[in-house]
Chains A and B, each alone.
Chain A
Amino acid sequence: MKIPALLRPTTLFLTLLLAACSTIAPYDQEAYKTATGLKVDALVVMSSATESYSSYRAEVARFRIALDKAYEYDRNRPLNEITIKLWDKLRNPDGDLLGGFLREWQEEGALRPKYVAHKKTQIAEGFDTLIQLESGKIKPAEAARQL
């Protein structure tokens, strides 16, 4: 009987060896999909920041929960420290990206349209940075092909 390629001793040995040699988490489709979706949601929520925060309180709360869920998912992936640091930068309420923007909106009420537009550009770039790192990670299919 022919042994499937994935079950051959050399392949199994190599798979374990490569996993042991990895210095960063492999690509995760779920994490990629969530981050791209959250980018779109963030820009939609931010567009409302030219109006009073109180009118959008529930919407922002829902968005924050989705953001926290994505963070928790990534936080529990092994070798994923750099992605976590990227999320920390983006979410930090004392910083000047998404977390800081939402806090500012909550504290100050409606924000100036030009300011909101510029912040949307900045925060979109922040999400892109995170997404680019995820998409650059080694896909499981690529790793298997190397064997």
Chain B
Amino acid sequence: MANIDWKDIEKQTAILAKTILKGFADQAVADARDFQKKAQAHLAEWLTDLAHGDISQKNFESLVRGERDLAEMRALKQAGLSKIALDTFTAGFIEIVLHAALAALP
């Protein structure tokens, strides 16, 4: 029977998980921070425009609701990116196992 190096599979899988999942988590945090920063700046600008009469109360409310819609879109995008990270991990794991299995063939 072929001798598969399970220790090596474990080691490579741990590296793969760390690379893909940590990369995804870092990106998600950076994305959330970027959104918060932009939303704060936008809100300050809209309030100034409202005070100067450049936009109406109704316009202001629509802009605020639009920002909420954008936040929901960002959350959906992150959900999609997490699926991509999972798919990438699965593909990498299969490749690791297959290579180990092929290498163990006499």
A contact set with B: CB distance below 8 Å: 10, 14, 17-18, 21-24, 82-83, 85-86, 89-90, 95-97, 100, 104, 111-115, 118-119, 121-122, 125-126, 129-130, 132-133, 136-138, 143, 146-147
Contact = CB atoms under 8 A, between A and B. Distances in A.
Nearest to B65: A96
Contacts of A14: 94-95, 98
A136 B80 contact: yes
Given A129-B70, A130-B73, A143-B91, A115 B42 contact: no
25 contacts: A10-B102, A22-B87, A82-B76, A82-B77, A82-B80, A89-B73, A90-B73, A96-B62, A97-B66, A104-B62, A111-B59, A112-B55, A115-B54, A115-B59, A118-B46, A119-B66, A122-B42, A126-B73, A129-B73, A129-B77, A132-B77, A133-B76, A133-B81, A143-B91, A146-B95
Contacts of A121: 42
Interface in B82-106: 83-84, 86-88, 90-92, 94-95, 98, 102
Residues of B in contact with A, size category:
35 or more
The binding surface of chain B is classed by DSSP as helix
Contacts of B66: 95-97, 100, 119, 122
B34 to A, nearest CB: 10
B8 interface: no
Cβ-closest 10 pairs across A and B: A96-B66, A24-B83, A96-B65, A114-B54, A82-B80, A115-B59, A23-B83, A129-B73, A133-B80, A122-B66
Interface of B: 38, 42, 45-46, 49, 54-56, 59, 62-63, 65-70, 72-74, 76-77, 79-81, 83-84, 86-88, 90-92, 94-95, 98, 102
A114 B94 contact: no
B36 to A, nearest CB: 13
The binding surface of chain A is classed by DSSP as helix
A129 B72 CA distance: 10
Nearest to A82: B80
Contact of B59 (A112, A126, A138): A112
